[in-house]
Structure 1
Amino acid sequence: MIRVLLVEDSATMRHHLRESLAADPELEVVGEATDGGAAVDLVGRLRPDVVTMDMMLPTMSGLVATEHIMAEHPTPILVVSSADRQELFSTYNALAAGAVDVLEKPRGDASDADWGRRLCSAVRLVSRIRVITHPRARLDGRDRPSVPPAAPIDDGTPAQVVAVGASTGGPGALTELLRALPPGFGPPVLCVQHIAASEPFAVAFSDWLAGQTGRDVAYARHGTLLRSLGGRVVLAPPDRHLAVRDGVLRLSDGPPRYSCRPSVDVLFESVAAEYGAGGTGVLLTGMGRDGADGLLRMRARGAVTFAQDESSCVVYGMPREAALIGAAAYVLPPARIAARVAELQFAGGRATGGRR
């Protein structure tokens, strides 16, 4: 049985959650909390396998409760939240603090027909994730990661574009990576972040990431010249593949890769073909293997490639696959990856001396 703790202040919504989960014989609700403080206490006493977490709670918010849980009793947390803008930003803060996925609350329209099935599926998925302890109070910028001194580099092709892929746990890792890049970093950063949520959640991600990092962040537009994007962070839009061809951003509705659209592999393969040794590839935390083959393609074309290390990953899935097939030349935490990536711009060379 997968033991679930429900955290929700609305009696109507708690009833809906309880009934939906009861339809799956392998899911068991072991407790309910109506505020964040009670949720933290119950997690410590009941040790559930999964917590479903509302964001807007009395006394202690869902975000603060998530921070406490991930610092004291790390447990897979599924945020169940509405698409209200204030709640969206709290949701992304919770994902950066260690929550592993998000499911939008029922909308009251035809899309609700299979909501219960999607809830059960999401609970099953997050229950399989090995979560790690997250320090609290990291999201306001007071405790930004320290960047170690740069290691020696060799002369080589300067970085022209940085391609980044992330999935589960990605908002936090991507925030850490971008915060650690120096203010004058010039190459554009193209990102694929898997977000298993509705379009309102996904669209708000760019605003949230810009606020967290102080960088110019926007969703990609088809036909944009890459040379016009210096220093900007460009995200793949919801449900669209992002690629580069002939120096231009291309968006497409092509078939999913490893059930993913946007796909990290699609981005990495296009950067490998377009820029060769002028590309830099970074694969961050996530479940599955999307991005591993594309990162290997980049490395084969002369690009410098990085994968996030296991100790800093929420889910050591995608980076692990990349390391196993030799796609990642360097395996490091996000802040140290950022330091090496910065070397490639400012010194115009290829990094050396990283842990392989």
Structure 2
Amino acid sequence: MVDRPKKIRVLIIDDSAIVRQTMTSVLEADPEIEVMGTAADPFAAAKRIQEEVPDVITLDVEMPRMDGITFLRKLMSQCPIPVVMCSSLTEDGSDTLLQAMEAGAVDVILKPKVGVAEHLTEHNLQICDAVKAAAKARVKGRAARVARSSAPEKKLTADAVLPPPSGRAMSRTTEMVICLGASTGGTEALRQVLEALPANSPGVVVVQHMPENFTRAFAKRLDSLCETDVKEAADGDPVLRGQVLIAPGGKHTMLERRGARYYVSVRDGPLVSRHRPSVDVLFRSVARSAGSNAVGVIMTGMGDDGARGMLELRQAGARTFAQDEATSIVFGMPKEAIAHGGVEKVIPLSQIAREMLQAADR
């Protein structure tokens, strides 16, 4: 008799009965996930956790009796469990969601104030992926149980977005371009890397898997912490020394070369590897436009987004690095990039800034 893989047990905490019901339906439609219970507020949730500890919690921000951020902080100090924040807060509340990531949440799901059931149902794949990623996350030194994944569904590649390659050889330029890709756990990992960059760092373009209306607040927060200028990328922005461009949520960001200078193109397009922005879209565009003038880094995250792009970067002569397993919240994306042969060197988070700067200083 073959043992069936244990399902990911999820506790849903939300004051809305409609959200609790819809989230239960969405999650239990996935054969790898089981909803062990729901709670209308953190006090009810605490009692449920005393009875049985879930693998993952989905947690609303705005709730009666205790807000989600306060509960998250208490939870992480007493019983660290992977948490996915689920909130109706959009751009105006992005700072609050950034606080949640700092407090230990591993991912964010946004929901509208109107039509929430339809929205959650429509985004069922992203919600289930977020829960699966959280189940694999290391939270405050606690290694969560790793669930087996079923056969991946067919996904679009970056070819669905990228223009046909020009076939022109990549000639050397005086400026280098650094591209970074991250997902689950990436907000704090990127902060650590970007804070270590000097004010005259080579231009950097970042794809962090994030919802719309979240990346602008993320860029603003990083700008207040870093020596470099950090901004959300806009279509046509030049890639400048001393500046970091964050790909906007809900848009693909690509690198283009005009003469000896580089610019970003920000545009709509289908989900690539279930993401928009996609790391593969950025990396493969950098391979085509910058070639050996580039440095690529793949960081913590679930899935394989960026693996093919890393290989193209390396084949084009770029220097390529991956964050190591010990310092990754989820080792999925770096592991896949390594398996594809696109990674030149595997390094811990604390060394990424130094290594990529040395690689760019040719």
Length-normalised TM-score, structure 2: 0.75
What secondary structure, in the 3-state scheme, does the structure 2 residue paired with 1:310 have?
A: coil
Tell me whether 1:168 sits opposite 2:172 in the alignment.
no
Q: Relative contact order (C-alpha < 8 Å, sep 6+): which is higher? A: 1
Paired with 1:266 and 1:121, the residues of 2 have a C-alpha distance of 20
Structure 2: any 5+ residue segments left out of the alignment? 1-6, 142-171
Could you tell me which residue of structure 2 aligns to residue 151 of structure 1?
A: none
Q: State the shift of 1:33 in Å.
A: 6.1
Residues matched between the structures, number = 316
**Stretch of structure 1 that moved more, 58-67 or 297-306:** 58-67
Deviation at 1:269, TM superposition (A): 1.9
In structure 2, the residue corresponding to 1:168 is in which secondary structure? coil
* Residues 127, 207 of structure 1: alpha-carbon distance in 2 compared, 3 angstrom cutoff: same
- Residues 183-215 of structure 1, C-alpha deviation per residue, up to 9 Å, x if partnerless? 3342111011111x3x33344332233345464
* Alignment counterpart, residue 124 of structure 1, candidates 125, 128, 140: 128
Q: Which of these residues, 11, 15, 21, is aligned with residue 5 of structure 1? A: 11
Q: Is residue 2:51 matched to residue 1:32?
A: no
Q: Does 1:233 align with 2:244?
A: yes
Residue of 227, 242, 255 corresponding to 2:253 = 242
Q: Structure 1: 5+ residue runs without aligned partners? A: 136-155, 350-356
Relative to 1, partners in 2 of residues 1:241 and 1:119: Cα closer, same or farther, differing over 3 Å? closer
3-state SS in 2 of match to 1:233: strand
User: What is the DSSP-based 3-state SS (H/G/I as helix, E as strand, rest coil) of the residue aligned with 1:311?
Assistant: coil
Q: CA deviation at 1:217?
A: 1.6
**2:284, 2:310 within 8 Å by CA — same for their partners in 1?**
yes
- 1:288, 1:47 → 2: CA distance? 26
Indicate which of 118, 140, 145 corresponds to 1:134. Answer: 140
CA RMSD of aligned residues (A): 3.1
- Following superposition, the deviation at residue 64 of structure 1 comes to 4.6
Partner amino acid, structure 2, of 1:232:
Q
* Structure 1 residue 331, shift from structure 2 partner: 1.2
In the TM superposition, residue 86 of structure 1 has moved relative to its aligned partner by 6.2
- Amino acid in the other structure paired with 1:278: N
Alpha-carbon distance change, 6 to 286 in structure 1, aligned in 2, over 3 angstroms: same
Cα pair distance change 1:232/1:38, threshold 3 Å: farther
Larger displacement relative to structure 2 (171-180 or 19-28): 19-28
Shift of 1:56: 4.2
What is the CA distance between 1:179 and its match in structure 2?
1.5
CA distance in 2, matches of 1:132, 1:233: 28
Q: Is the 8 A contact 1:159 1:344 kept in 2?
A: no
Stretch deviating more after TM superposition (23-32 or 240-249): 23-32
Structure 2 residue aligned with 1:152:
none
Q: Does 1:103 align with 2:117?
A: no
Q: 1:91 to 1:240 in 2, by over 3 A?
A: same
What residue is the counterpart of 1:80 in the other structure? Answer: 86
Q: Secondary structure at the match of 1:234?
A: strand
TM score, norm. by length of structure 1? 0.76
Equivalent position of 1:316 in the other structure:
331
Partners of 1:82 and 1:120 in 2: CA distance: 16
1:217 corresponds to which of 211, 226, 230: 230
